[in-house]
């Protein structure tokens, strides 16, 4: 079975007129900042994904090498990266160039947020000189403080609790794979079953902030020692109820993958947790995603595999990772298009 991306736009390469009007209207109502998709409505999330798909098509199919309006011409976007990155940095710098802006990269060796001066002071000073901030930080409080005291829009490139641009990329990838069903993005996503097998971390928290409200069912499997925080569970339950979706939790991977359309995992040892690696390898024994797990657990016959990368062999077997069920590289590329859509929507002066 081929996992090449299906077209998610109409044959002429543009969104249908009704979809275009709806997603344009939703984009015009976005909050100033993007800290978590939990702050966005389902319609606003869908609009960003649709915009990303449209930009991807115009670039890759129609050959548009830069945005014709150059919406960030003369604008400088500060990229504050307290943590190293590959996909996020490449995607963001190329997106800013595509929109005609200037990317100012400030890594942990260039600037130490909250060290020589308070984070509040840094936010006020930096935002007085730039037109937008894209920040990859540590604690969730850091991104909230940046947004609170910034004079310009702030987009979260990653923090300890959230990773919104990654989950937007995941939703775009899922829409591409299942887009042959036709109709709106909600028609495609609604009712799909997502199984998370792994750690209790920012990726699954952000999935829970976005997917249930889009009508997707989630089965979340983490070791008992690594529970999902109660506030995350409560919000996901409320969103799921409103969208007639379901969210369940367990500690048995075979139970989690039952009926799954999408199986997702991530690193078991995030940055800053290296000292815990030996114990985590014990705690996550039996959590490696494999063909055998999917078969024994009863995943749907056309299930696909997702991982935000970088991947380590203990998390998923080569047989799955490099199989035609895996959409990990399509998913990685889609970081570019969803970041591009977010920058265009939030950093453009028209916003």
The residues that are catalytic are 308
- Cβ atoms of residues 114 and 124 within 8 Å: no
Alpha helices in the chain (DSSP H): 17-27, 42-60, 87-98, 119-127, 140-149, 164-178, 185-189, 202-210, 230-242, 253-256, 277-283, 291-297, 318-321, 328-346
Q: Residues in the chain, how many? A: 351
- Cβ atoms of residues 197 and 289 within 8 Å: yes
Token digits of residue 64: 């548009």
**Percent helix, strand and coil across the chain, each rounded to 5?**
45, 15, 40
Q: Angle 42-60/164-178 helices, nearest 10 degrees?
A: 70
């Amino acid at each position: 079975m081929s996992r090449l991306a299906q077209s998610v736009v109409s044959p002429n390469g543009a969104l249908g007129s009704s979809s275009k009007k709806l997603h344009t209207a939703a984009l015009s109502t976005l909050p100033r900042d993007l800290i978590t998709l939990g702050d966005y409505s389902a319609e606003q999330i869908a609009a960003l994904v649709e915009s990303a798909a449209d930009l991807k098509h115009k670039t890759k199919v129609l050959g548009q090498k830069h945005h014709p309006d150059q919406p960030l011409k003369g604008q400088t976007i500060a990229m504050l990266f307290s943590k190293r990155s590959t996909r996020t940095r490449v995607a963001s710098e190329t997106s800013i160039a595509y929109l005609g802006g200037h990317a100012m990269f400030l890594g942990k060796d260039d600037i130490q947020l909250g060290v020589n001066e308070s984070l509040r002071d840094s936010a006020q000073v930096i935002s007085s000189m730039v037109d937008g901030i894209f920040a990859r930080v540590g604690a969730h409080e850091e991104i909230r403080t940046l947004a609170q005291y910034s004079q310009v829009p702030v987009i979260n490139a990653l923090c300890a609790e959230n990773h919104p641009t990654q989950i937007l990329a995941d939703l775009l990838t899922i829409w591409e794979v299942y887009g042959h069903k036709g109709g709106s993005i909600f028609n495609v996503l609604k009712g799909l079953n997502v199984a998370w097998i792994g750690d209790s971390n920012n990726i699954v928290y952000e999935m829970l902030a976005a997917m249930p409200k889009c009508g997707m069912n989630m089965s979340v499997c983490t070791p008992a020692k690594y529970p999902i925080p109660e506030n995350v569970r409560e919000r996901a339950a409320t969103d799921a109820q409103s969208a007639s979706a379901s969210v369940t939790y367990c500690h048995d991977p075979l139970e989690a993958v039952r009926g799954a359309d999408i199986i997702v995992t991530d690193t078991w040892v995030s940055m800053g947790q290296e000292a815990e690696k030996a114990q985590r390898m014990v705690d996550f024994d039996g959590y490696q995603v494999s063909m055998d797990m999917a078969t024994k657990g009863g995943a749907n016959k056309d299930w696909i595999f997702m991982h935000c990368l970088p991947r380590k062999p203990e998390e998923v077997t080569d047989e799955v990772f490099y199989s035609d069920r895996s959409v990990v590289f399509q998913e990685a590329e889609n970081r570019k298009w969803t970041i591009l859509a977010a920058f265009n929507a939030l950093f453009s002066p028209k916003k």
